[in-house]
Structure 1
Amino acid sequence: MDTGRVMETVILAVVIAVVVLGVLGGLVVGSRRKKSLPPPPPAAPDITAPPAEPHVGDEAETPRDEPRRTIEEVDLPGGSAPPVVEELPPTEIEVPEPTAGRLVRLRTRLSRSQNALGKGLLTLLSREHLDDDTWEEIEDILLTADVGVAPTQELVDGLRERVKVLGTRTPDELRGLLRAELLKLVGTEVDRTVRTEPEERKPGIVMVVGVNGTGKTTTTGKLARVLVADGRSVVLGAADTFRAAAADQLQTWGERVGAHTVRGPEGGDPASVAFDAVKEGKEMGVDVVLIDTAGRLHTKTGLMDELGKVKRVVEKHAPLDEVLLVLDATTGQNGLVQARVFAEVVDITGIVLTKLDGTAKGGIVVAVQRELGVPVKLIGLGEGADDLAPFEPEAFVDALIGD
């Protein structure tokens, strides 16, 4: 073979080898570039940064099968024990004093306010000569004490007749004479029992009515104490929904003696509250349900509608056993005007005279009984919780004329 052809063959082989090596080198470099770089080393945790929020799609941590510890087994920071919750002591229930003889106990308070009436009458009757002027003075004292015109004339006529027959008059005879005539005027044969125990059913239902400001709600609370003191269980119905805080006031009275109070929303329907009170009283098996009613006198028609509705709704359960009218003794003859209005609205069965210790006009007892034809059954003689007493004619008259 000639030398030139050999050289060409060698050169061609070298070129082919170089090309093949170039191609293989490019493939190796490309494959190295496609390989992922190793992850950087983890950074130190930032203890001030908040924990990362989980993202959508993150898997929840596999729950660990470890027993759950109770709150008592977990120590609070600092190793302190869990706080001990102290139970509040129950409301202490008061035990009202017995009502028997309560008016006798309050006699001194009554006699202080009524002393002028008894002393004035005894002084005039002790005069040696009782002329017409003296009898007119006696009439003036009685009228000033709000006895009323007709009862005053009746009392004076009776005294004149007895004095004429008696002749000589010692102080003891005059006191006995005046006591007898006053007792006749006040009335001793009338049943003054607050009817709360009907024979055929329970509970007895008592509705308390009266103008706001006479002590109506307070009297209802004090009456609950009187009943509890006599061994009866009581439910109170706060049907005076129009006067702010009336229900709170009544509930406070009830809690003091352990009586349950039924109430409704402020400004709600009084008849609905009264209905619920009687219903709950029957379910609880209590002896008496006392219903405190609204006492607004803006218009007689509105008052008549409200009280009439309360009465009708309550009597769907049972008839009312007692409707007590609360009067402020210090209002005198104005109280009689209020009494007439309420007597036209509902059938009053008894009267409660409050603040009798704050007036010298004890004759209102006689006047209001004559006006309404119903007896005074309870009298209020102070601000104390147990200063409401059953009315006893003998104790009352004895307080009027003194010892």
Structure 2
Amino acid sequence: MENWQTWLLVAVVLLAVAVVAVVVVRSRGKREIPPPTTPITPVAEKPEQPSRTAEPDHVAAVESATTTAEVVEPAIEVPEPTAGRLVRLRARLSRSNNALGKGLLSLLSRDRLDDDVWEEIEELLITADVGLEPTMQIVERLRERTRVLGTRTSDQLRELLHEELTRALEIDADRSVNTSGADGKPGVILVVGVNGAGKTTTCGKVARVLVADGKRVLLGAADTFRAAAADQLETWAGRVGSEVVRGAEGADPASVAFDAVKRGTELEVDVVLVDTAGRLQNKAGLMDELGKVKRVVEKHGPIDETLLILDATTGQNGLEQARVFTEVCDVSGVVLTKLDGSAKGGIVIAVQRRLNVPVKLIGLGEGPDDLAPFDVTQFVDALLADGDSATGDSVAGQPVA
């Protein structure tokens, strides 16, 4: 019995000692891990990299695309050669031949050409915007020549009318667009016109005519009243790979024109084409400003060509416009637009007779290459052509000098 109690006492003592040991260990914390017996080889540190600001995801994507994808430049258009454009002349001007062509042939083919018939011929010519004085001259010569002919066949009448219309359209002036600058400098062309005549669009088409004939062209956007005009000109220029000099909206037009000629000289282009703001011919202030543009540009050298843009559908009203512009800036050539959409092709005769300024280019439609050099023979052929032959044969156009 005594032995059993002794062993119980020993067990209790041992249990108490174990409990005390656990409490002591927890109160002192964990024991430190002894160092390893095998030394650890230190890892070599990487060289410090330069700090870089994090870029947005879309920027990184753009950079990645730029490095992996080839940049595609917009294609440069090659304008249609001016020589081939005269093929359209016969077809599109055939809309006018009822007035100047078929109408005259029909009247002259009557068995008896009395005063009433000649009055109808006069009225037809005036209606076609030939003008009063040229009409009287044409009728007088037709009366004299038909009287001499006596019997008149259709071929004779057609030839007679062809000769008289050609005579009325001829003018002692060069019809080519002058692009030759002095002393190796670019040729300078000033484009002027009234509001609504399609001046800026036509200016872009003139640039295409020059490029088609192998010229290097720079355009000056001196129409600073409308930002859209400069944007439009840049669109036209970009399609043929030409540069545009423009200023801020409302900038001095003369200054922009001056800078354009200066830039063209630096780039050694062949032609500088300056587009001016459209203006009404009866506004003295605007016309004076146009005169200023001319004077400032001439500090570089003489202006080689001043083209007046006229809407053929305005008829006789266009003559007054042309007269005022001629007085202000010495118009040297006329560009008639919308000639295909008017039955009044006689305006060509009237403009030249009134101003002694040649028509150099004619607009035959809304396409980019629907501006063609004017040729008297082809013009008259188109007016007198039969419907079946309106498309005619291709005849080489007049080159741009």
TM-score between both structures, scaled by the size of structure 2 = 0.79
Pairing partner for 1:381 from 358, 364, 377: 364
CA distance in structure 2 between the partners assigned to 1:179 and 1:311 by the alignment? 40
Residue number in structure 2 paired with 1:227: 210
- Tell me the residue number matched to 1:359: 342
Task: Provide the residue aligned with 1:148 in structure 2.
Answer: 131
Whichever residue aligns with residue 266 of structure 2, its letter is E
- Higher alpha-carbon deviation: 291-300 or 303-312: 291-300
Q: Matched residues in 2 for 1:265 and 1:254: separation? A: 18
Give the conservation status (yes or no) of the 8 Å contact 1:188–1:393. no
- Residue by residue over 1:102-135, the C-alpha shift from the partner in whole angstroms, topping out at 9 and shown as x without a partner, is 2233320111233332111000000011001000
Query: Does residue 266 of the first structure (1) align with residue 281 of the second (2)?
Result: no
What SS does the corresponding residue of 2:166 show, helix, strand or coil? Answer: helix
Question: How far apart in 2 are the matches of 1:88 and 1:245?
Answer: 28
Equivalent residue letter for 1:401: L
Do structure 1's residue 137 and structure 2's residue 120 form an aligned pair? yes
Q: CA deviation at 1:338?
A: 1.2
- TM-score normalised to structure 1 length: 0.79
Structure 1 CA distance, aligned partners of 2:96 and 2:147? Answer: 31
Q: In terms of Rg, which structure is larger?
A: 1
User: In structure 1, how many angstroms separate the alpha carbons of the residues matched to 2:202 and 2:136?
Assistant: 33
Q: In structure 2, what is the Cα distance between the partners aligned to 1:84 and 1:205?
A: 43
Residue 229 (structure 2) aligns with: 246
Work out which of the residue numbers 306, 317, 332 in structure 1 matches 2:300: 317
Structure 1 residues 66 and 336, CA, compared in 2 at 3 Å: closer, same or farther? same
State which of 62, 66, 71 in structure 1 corresponds to 2:47: 66
Q: Secondary structure of the equivalent of 2:326?
A: helix
Residue in 2 that maps onto 1:97: 80
Quick one: structure 1 residues 83 and 95, their matched pair in 2 at CA, closer, same or farther if it must change by over 3 Å? Answer: same
- Is 1:210 matched up with 2:181? no
Change (3 A) 1:81 1:339: closer
Change (3 A) 1:200 1:365: same
Aligned to 1:44: none
Of structures 1 and 2, the one scoring higher in RCO (CA 8 A, sep 6+) is 2
Cα deviation for residue 314 of structure 1 reads 0.4
1:109 corresponds in structure 2 to 92
Pairwise CA distance, 1:339: 1.1
Conservation of the 8 A alpha-carbon contact between 1:278 and 1:289: yes
Shift of 1:373: 1.1
Report the alpha carbon displacement of residue 188 of structure 1 after superposing the two structures with TM.
5.9
Q: CA deviation at 1:176?
A: 0.2
How far does residue 199 in structure 1 lie from its aligned partner after superposition? 5.6
Match of 1:177 among 148, 157, 160: 160
User: Among residues 247, 268, 276, which one is paired with 2:259 in the alignment?
Assistant: 276
**Cα offset for 1:298?**
7.7
Per-residue Cα deviation, 1:156-199 (whole angstroms, up to 9, x for no partner): 01111111111111111100000000000000653101100136
CA–CA distance in structure 2, aligned partners of residues 219 and 243 of structure 1: 16
Q: Cα–Cα, structure 1 residues 120 and 299, in superposed 2: closer, same or farther, change >3 Å? A: closer
Query: Equivalent pairs: percent with the same residue?
Result: 68
Which residue of the partner structure matches residue 166 of structure 1?
A: 149
Match of 1:301 among 261, 267, 284: 284
Letter paired with 1:272: S
Shifted more, 380-389 versus 111-120: the winner is 111-120
Q: Quickly say closer, same or farther: Cα 1:159–1:217, change in 2 above 3 A.
A: same
Q: Quick one: which amino acid aligns to residue 374 of structure 2?
A: F
Question: Structure 1 residue 83: deviation in Å?
Answer: 3.6
Using a 3 Å threshold, how does the CA distance of structure 1 residues 200 and 114 change in structure 2: closer, same or farther? farther
Q: 5+ residue gaps in structure 1?
A: 1-63
CA deviations 1:275-317 (Å, max 9, x no partner) are 0000000000000000000112285321222111100110000
Deviations 1:56-100 (A, max 9, x none): xxxxxxxx97242798xx9x9xxx998423454111100011111
Aligned with 1:84 (options 65, 88, 99) = 65
CA spacing shift, 1:169–1:231, aligned 2, 3 Å: same
Name the structure 1 match of 2:110.
Answer: 127
The answer for the alignment partner of 2:8 in structure 1 is none
Q: 1:66 to 1:151 in 2, by over 3 A?
A: same
Q: Deviations over 1:346-366 (max 9, x none)?
A: 101000000000100000000
Contact 1:212–1:296 (Cα < 8 Å) also in 2 = yes
Distance 2:149 2:171 in 1: 24
